[in-house]
Structure 1
């Protein structure tokens, strides 16, 4: 029997980009942005200096040194028993991130085959049974079942099924088997 497929985003879902982004942005801008202060804000509101933000995101090793989300590694190992997993990242906007993301995945998720890593510009072409992402701009085009992973910028959005962490994501997906 063919396994169902899951497209899983990297930043904000597998990798804790929030913590690193806040740290780098504050250092570069001399601000005191915190996780609590940006809850419910759009990214443009939370990080208003867009030029500075793009500079932070294009810094060498920014993506390579992101912390892993709690329970992400164990959750993907467990899900891989019943699902085919594709890591899908809209990475081409930040070309410096491409090699860094591949290396990061190799370190933390070595059980994901290279052919199941998709670094793209738009996720509209992704056709999997499920998509786990933190951005509605990706989930709104999902051809399968969209699953929104909670992040500061989506806490007020309610038009997709929401999971708050990897334990909830695994529980939901295993119920669908």
Structure 2
């Protein structure tokens, strides 16, 4: 059975929506996607440091549309690991585990990997929204589109824009190569 490393923030958890909502709550200013497209997260969200240190930020992030249903189907055909860079924000460890357990109860705690750098990850496939994680990965890579990477060329990574698209690609691939 093939293995997949799935990023959490920006792939499963809609942290962009969380940042935009919290920015509005703090400033009354509406951030629009066009204004932050192509900007690194720290440039797009001037209050990012405050927000990621706010209790509940990671635990209350909304789901990316379609993530739960698609990952359930993928999980039936692949060995899925959730791999999240979490040690930069120590509070996030507990919150991310609680969030994953609530939204993805079919992913056991043994398949939740919280780390700093993802360069040690050795699965067959990696799904992430950051080039820094995908570029160091030796297997098959899928770049999940987010505003910060939208204007960049995906290079060797296959760009995906939704969980529905990703599930179609991965489930079709499994049917074509069932021994995988």
TM-score normalized with structure 1 length: 0.92
Alignment match, 1:107: 102
How many residues get paired? 172
CA contact (8 A) 1:126 1:143 kept: no
CA distance in 2, matches of 1:73, 1:89: 17
The residue matched to 1:152 in structure 2 has which SS? coil
Show structure 1 runs of 5+ residues with no match. Answer: none
2:175 matched to 1:174? Answer: no
Q: 1:25-67, CA deviations, whole angstroms, 9 ceiling, x for partnerless residues?
A: 23334543222321222223312x3xx3211111000111111
CA contact (8 A) 1:134 1:148 kept: yes
- Give the alignment partner of residue 24 of structure 2, picking from 18, 26, 31: 26
CA distance in 2, matches of 1:134, 1:26: 24
Alignment match, 1:157: 152
2:145 matched to 1:147? Answer: no
CA distance in 1, matches of 2:94, 2:106: 18
TM-score normalized with structure 2 length: 0.91
Show structure 2 runs of 5+ residues with no match. Answer: 175-180
CA contact (8 A) 2:8 2:82 kept: yes
Give, in angstroms, the shift of residue 98 of structure 1. Answer: 0.7
Runs of 4+ in 1 over 4 A off after TM superposition: none
CA contact (8 A) 2:56 2:95 kept: yes
Give, in angstroms, the shift of residue 142 of structure 1. Answer: 1.1
The residue matched to 2:143 in structure 1 has which SS? strand
Give, in angstroms, the shift of residue 8 of structure 1. Answer: 0.2
The residue matched to 1:154 in structure 2 has which SS? coil
CA contact (8 A) 1:8 1:86 kept: yes
Give, in angstroms, the shift of residue 94 of structure 1. Answer: 0.8
CA distance in 2, matches of 1:66, 1:117: 17
CA distance in 2, matches of 1:98, 1:84: 22
CA distance in 2, matches of 1:94, 1:26: 23
CA contact (8 A) 2:42 2:48 kept: no
Alignment match, 1:36: 34
The residue matched to 1:176 in structure 2 has which SS? helix
The residue matched to 2:148 in structure 1 has which SS? helix
Give, in angstroms, the shift of residue 78 of structure 1. Answer: 0.4
